Amino acid sequence: MKRPVLAVCCLSCLITLAEAQQPDVVIYPRPREDTKLAVADFVPRTFAGQDTQAALEVFNQVLWDDLLFSAFFQMPSKSFYPLKPLRLPQDVSFENWQAPTLDVDFLILGNLQINETRATVEAYLYDVKTRQQVLGKRYTISDSELIRRVAHEFADQVVFQLSAGTSRGISRTQIAITSLKGGSKEIYVMDYDGFNQRTITANGGLNKFPEWSADNSTLAFVSNLPNSSRWELWLQGLQGGRSVIPVSTSYVSSPEISPTSQLIAFSTRSPEKTDPDIYVSDLAGKGRKNLSNHPAIDTSPTWSPTGNQIAFVSDRTGTPQIWMVDADGSNLQRLVTEGGHCDSPSWSPDGRFVSYSWQAPTQWKHDIYVIEVATGKIFQLTSGRGSNESPHWSPDARHISFQSTRTGSKQIFIMNADGKNIKQITAYGINESPAWSGYFELARENRAGQQEEDER
């Protein structure tokens, strides 16, 4: 949670919890009509060795999961598929995929083979109605451990193609988290589905509230090193290099880098004050400006996608609520007015919504809500067991990551932006404060032992 300790007062609520449970948020961009997609299991190209079979199991599951979670497609059960394996396009009998039990619009098929030095994947996307190839790719990788990456990449290319370029998909994105394993809280980065988790910090201290720069090269977070009484604001390059942004007191929290990667917003206090305010400075700590400047607790800033506004949490009216202000400190407005305890706002990349967690006055736990900025309409996304907090948007604004205690300890979950299709992606340790990356450039990934070419 992006907040200092706050006293929660049970005030009268302007709307009840039930009134907030309005119809589902609509996920944009939406296809003009439902697209029915079949994903036939990839098969060996030549011989089915043990390594090839193991890679196929991973590839087929990852590709299916990625496309299903994209929320773009209606995907009929594989139990309705024709039994004939599809290795190459000439193996397809298109009329079988237009039977009433299937009647799909598009079909994915392909093959995979591993030999001693490399793995090769051939992947195809066909329009079943026209029987024309839409996409054909051949991937060659030097390490079979990269097979998940190939599945992610092809899934994103399918999403991009079938959404007419309105989405780049999220399969190759990553999520940064704070994880407690042993006696320290460290920053980790993992694939969007929870795999390939790796450490970013290993300082043995407390590291919290990671946030990405717009180009994904840097993480901002706060750190309290062992045997230190000070919190520090760090910028950590993912390819190496670290800097500390100086602050004037021992407290700093909840940083977020601006969409231009030129500025950073964070919560800290001046030496003469006891309560923190929202500050903005450049990435060297220069030009620091107090945007909120109020005798209350102001924390958890989040930039609008244009960089022109910042939403944040303030208890200036008695309980923590969501406010927003222009990036120059003018035009202060209260965004959420329901009382209770609001926390951890996150502005959607399309600018339509601010997500946040809310604890109603009569509730013991938080749930995830979104407010439509233009209309003030509020939608509840989570309910049921456990406390759900720290929402963070995916770069396509179609998904949200969050932390939850619904399975016991704090773990990371992802879901569609309408609250559906919730998936747990961590299980070991205590995990919190997820931050979803932006898009990674394909060329950067291909340098890691992967080659790709069109297969026409």
What is the DSSP secondary-structure string of 109-151?
EEEEEE-SS-EEEEEEEEETTTTEEEEEEEEEES-GGGHHHHH
Res 449: pLDDT:
54
87 found inside a domain = yes
Q: Are residues 163 and 187 in the same domain?
A: no
**What proportions of the chain, in percent to the nearest 5, are helix, strand and coil?**
15, 40, 50
Contact between 45 and 91 under an 8 Å Cβ cutoff? The reply is no
- Do 211 and 121 fall into the same domain? no
Q: Same domain, yes or no, for 136 and 182? A: no
The pLDDT value given to residue 287: 95
345 and 215 assigned to the same domain: yes
Q: Of 185, 186, 244, whose CA–CA distance to 218 is shortest?
A: 244
Number of domains in the chain: 2
CATH of the domain at 70: 3.40.50.10070
In a shared domain, residues 154 and 193:
no
CA distance linking residue 274 with residue 129, whole number of Å = 67
In-domain check, residue 15 = no
- Biggest alpha carbon distance in the chain? 76
Q: Distance of alpha carbon 230 from its chain centroid, rounded?
A: 30
Residue 405 is predicted with a pLDDT of 98
pLDDT tens readout for residues 362-401: 888 999 999 999 999 999 999 998 999 999 999 999 999 9
pLDDT tens for each residue of 221-273 = 999 999 999 999 999 999 889 999 999 899 999 999 999 999 999 999 998 88
Whether residue 137 sits in one domain with residue 188? no
Closest to 209 (Cα-Cα) out of 196, 226, 221, 217? 221
Residue 30 falls inside a structural domain: no
The pLDDT of residue 303: 98
Q: Distances in Å between the alpha carbon of 246 and those of 25, 278, 287? A: 40, 15, 12
Per-residue confidence (pLDDT) for residue 65, from 0 to 100: 98
pLDDT number for residue 3: 44
Domain membership of residue 5 (yes or no) is no
- Assess whether 155 and 255 both reside in one domain: no
Cα dihedral value 40, 46, 52, 58, nearest 10: -10
54/73 same-domain check: yes
Q: Are residues 220 and 356 in the same domain?
A: yes
Instruction: Look at residue 18 in the predicted model and tell me its pLDDT.
Output: 38
- pTM (two decimals): 0.92
Question: Which stretches of the chain drop beneath a pLDDT of 50?
Answer: 1, 3-21, 23, 443-448
pLDDT at 29 (0 to 100): 67
The CATH number linked to 276 is: 2.120.10.30
Do 49 and 188 fall into the same domain? no
Do residues 323 and 14 touch, judged by C-beta distance below 8 A?
Answer: no
pLDDT at 442: 54
142: domain range?
A: 35-168+445-454
Q: Does residue 228 belong to any structural domain of this protein?
A: yes
Q: Is residue 4 part of a domain?
A: no
Same domain, 163 and 183: no
Within-domain flag for 29: no
Q: Looking at the domain assignment, is residue 430 inside a domain?
A: yes
CA dist., res. 381 & res. 403, Å (int): 13
What is the three-class DSSP state of 420?
Answer: coil
Contact predicate 67/155, CB 8 Å? yes
One domain, residues 212 and 357: yes
Work out the number of other CB atoms within 10 angstroms of the CB of residue 145. Answer: 13
* Closest-CA residue to 322 (of 350, 305, 299): 299
